[in-house]
Amino acid sequence: MLGQRVVTAVVLLALLVPALIASSPWPFQLLTMVLIGAAGWEWGRLNGATSSLSIAFGALLAAACALAWRGGWTEATPAAVWWVAAVVWVLGGTLALRVGPAAWPHLPQGLRWVVGLVALWAAWLAIAAARGRGINFILSVFCVVWVADIAAYFGGRAFGKRKLAPSISPGKSWEGVWSGLAGVMLLAAGWLAWQGRAMQTGPSLFSELDRGFGLIGGALLLIGLAGMSVVGDLFESLVKRAAGAKDSSRLLPGHGGVLDRVDALLPVFPIAMALVTWGRP
């Protein structure tokens, strides 16, 4: 299993890193569009679609992303799109976690498909738009999610006592959440200190939040973003638990499926884009 995880990770990095650092954004946008289409296929399978219908669902999602790309939305998305996505994630995600996995299958199947389509489409659009703001910016958003997850894992193992959501993900604890938030705060402080000394790095999420909302306001919003990464993770776990699945698929040997790797990113990127476009049309 460990060998599979390592090989899969190396292959993914070999594809993603050159696409990310390319002078043009299109290789990264194309690669992530393929991955999000695969996530759409997984979403269909988890929500009762047949094999052929799941493939069609993934293709429809990729086509919707391509239309947004062709329409120029990756460079100039109306800020209202991000704010609608942010509000839906905060309110809808909180409600879904409150009612738990037992309620999910009782929603109309068509509604569950639409939820997945919109959430995945908005996440891809936000990731593509973030790449357009520069490598420093998109990496800083990725790192918020990664550090929150890693710090939560080790903090939970070391100090975890109080279960966060036992009916959804029994391994997660409140102590893990606090550890994740602390890790993100340290990340932001270190990033801003480095960025203040580095030349021509471009804006990061942290510098944009500091510029738009001040030090205290930016820190509070960053805590909220880290918290929403937990919501994204738990939401996907809720859907899997309702479907009786351990992983979203076996597309990534040793890692599960694409959804298993991007779940925490789904709410964070649209909300991050909403925050950095505050006050703009």
| Angle at which helices 205-243 and 26-46 cross, to 10° | 30
Which pTM was predicted?
0.94
Residue 150's identity, in one-letter code, is I
Residues making up the chain, counted from first to last: 281
The answer to whether 281 and 78 have CB atoms below 8 angstroms apart is yes
Residue 251, pLDDT score: 87
**Which pLDDT band holds residue 86 (cuts at 50, 70, 90)?**
very high
**Which pLDDT band holds residue 199 (cuts at 50, 70, 90)?**
low
Mean predicted confidence (pLDDT) in 194-213:
85
Residue 3, pLDDT score: 67
pLDDT at 157 over 80: yes
Question: Percent of the chain having pLDDT more than 90?
Answer: 72
Mean predicted confidence (pLDDT) in 104-132:
94
pLDDT at 214 over 70: yes
pLDDT at 73 over 60: yes
The SS3 call for residue 69 is helix
What end-to-end distance do the CA atoms of the chain give, in Å? Answer: 48
The secondary structure of residue 104, as a DSSP letter, is G
Residue 9, pLDDT score: 78
| Weakest-pLDDT range from 64-73, 192-201, 249-258 | 192-201
> Which residues of the chain form beta strands (DSSP E)?
163-165, 169-173
Specify whether the backbone of 252 is left (phi greater than 0), alpha (psi in -120 to 50) or beta: beta
Mean predicted confidence (pLDDT) in 12-20:
88
